[in-house]
Amino acid sequence: MNEDYSNRRLANNVTEAEERFVEFSCKDPIPAVPPALLNSGDICDYARITSMVYPFDVTKLKSASYEIEFLGDVYLVNEKTGEVEKEILQRDKPFILKKNSIVFVFIETKFFLPDYIAIRFNLKITLVHRGLLLGTGPLVDPGFVGRLLIPLHNLTSEDHEIYGGDGLIWVEFTKLSPHRKWDQSARNNSADYRSFPPTKRNLSAQQYFNKASKGKPALSSIPGEIATFKIIAEKAKSRVTFLRVC
């Protein structure tokens, strides 16, 4: 007989959210929900019971996705000094995303994905229309625990202002096909389920950078290319002037 979790409330703190992950990481509290892209009601219920998103705000839901705010830490490389800089985003305070640049947002929201839930995310369309780029909906595997490090590109020739707390990405939640690890009705002769490696949970921003780019955020090549073209143009201009004098 399935347990009734209708009275289960949202986790009050991150410690309680962690405890919920331990409880539900391989136990599906709503087995009646079939494998599919979750609707807003199912997203809300799974978040309320399992704490798969913490903190969770029901007002951030759309019909089949959940909005993540532009809050957390921003990492970038200073073009002049080459040093890594970190800025903590403040709610309602502007952050200037410089033209032709890339920054990395270590979002404040934390995920505790059970073994049967995967997510994809995409940049808010309003930011896309402003010329910003995130990439095409990366898959985050079930079992992931931690904060996402999201590269944000400004490919335009203008600086853009984003306020702390503005919507950054929309997240979709998909329930996996049944497996005997969490679903008693699943076929019992299936191959073993390959769980998310515990060593890859709760990574810091620095650990992400160590793995991906030799310990530092990537730097956009566009400003350097522009500077190179300017030097070439100045040399060509000087050459033309010299030929005219001669």
pLDDT at residue 89 above 70? yes
Q: Across all residues in the chain, what is the average pLDDT? A: 90
Q: Under 8 Å CB-to-CB from 15, ≥6 apart: which residues?
A: none
33 in Cβ contact with 175 (< 8 Å):
yes
Burial environment of residue 83 by CB neighbours within 10 A (0 to 12, 13 to 18, 19 or more): exposed
Distance set, CA 40 to CA 134, 145, 174 (Å)? 24, 21, 12
Within 10 A of 65 (CB to CB), how many other CB atoms are there? 22
pLDDT at residue 137 above 70? no
11 band by pLDDT with thresholds 50, 70 and 90: very high
226 band by pLDDT with thresholds 50, 70 and 90: very low
Measure the CA–CA gap between 60 and 236, rounded to whole angstroms: 55
Query: Which helix or strand (DSSP H or E) is residue 50 part of?
Result: helix 40-50
Measure the CA–CA gap between 186 and 190, rounded to whole angstroms: 8
pLDDT reported for residue 209: 93
Check residues 234 and 72 and name the one with the higher pLDDT.
72
Q: Return phi, psi of residue 138, to 5°.
A: -60, 145
Q: What is the pLDDT of residues 145-185, one digit of tens each?
A: 999 999 999 999 999 999 999 999 999 999 999 999 999 88
DSSP bridge partners of 91: 164
25 in Cβ contact with 145 (< 8 Å):
no
What pTM, to 2 d.p., does this model score?
A: 0.87
Measure the CA–CA gap between 93 and 52, rounded to whole angstroms: 28
The domain 14-245 is placed in CATH, from the list 2.40.50.1020, 2.70.40.10, 3.40.50.720, 3.40.50.1220, at: 2.70.40.10
The C-alpha angle 105, 109, 113, rounded to 5 degrees, equals 115
pLDDT at residue 225 above 90? no
pLDDT reported for residue 234: 53
Q: Under 8 Å CB-to-CB from 102, ≥6 apart: which residues?
A: 76, 151, 152, 153, 154, 217, 218, 219, 220
pLDDT at residue 229 above 80? no
Domain definitions of the chain by residue range? 14-245
**Mean pLDDT, rounded, for 213-232:** 58
Query: Taking the alpha carbons of 239, 240, 241, 246 in that order, is the dihedral positive or negative?
Result: positive
**Mean pLDDT, rounded, for 3-19:** 95
Q: What percent of the chain has pLDDT over 90?
A: 78
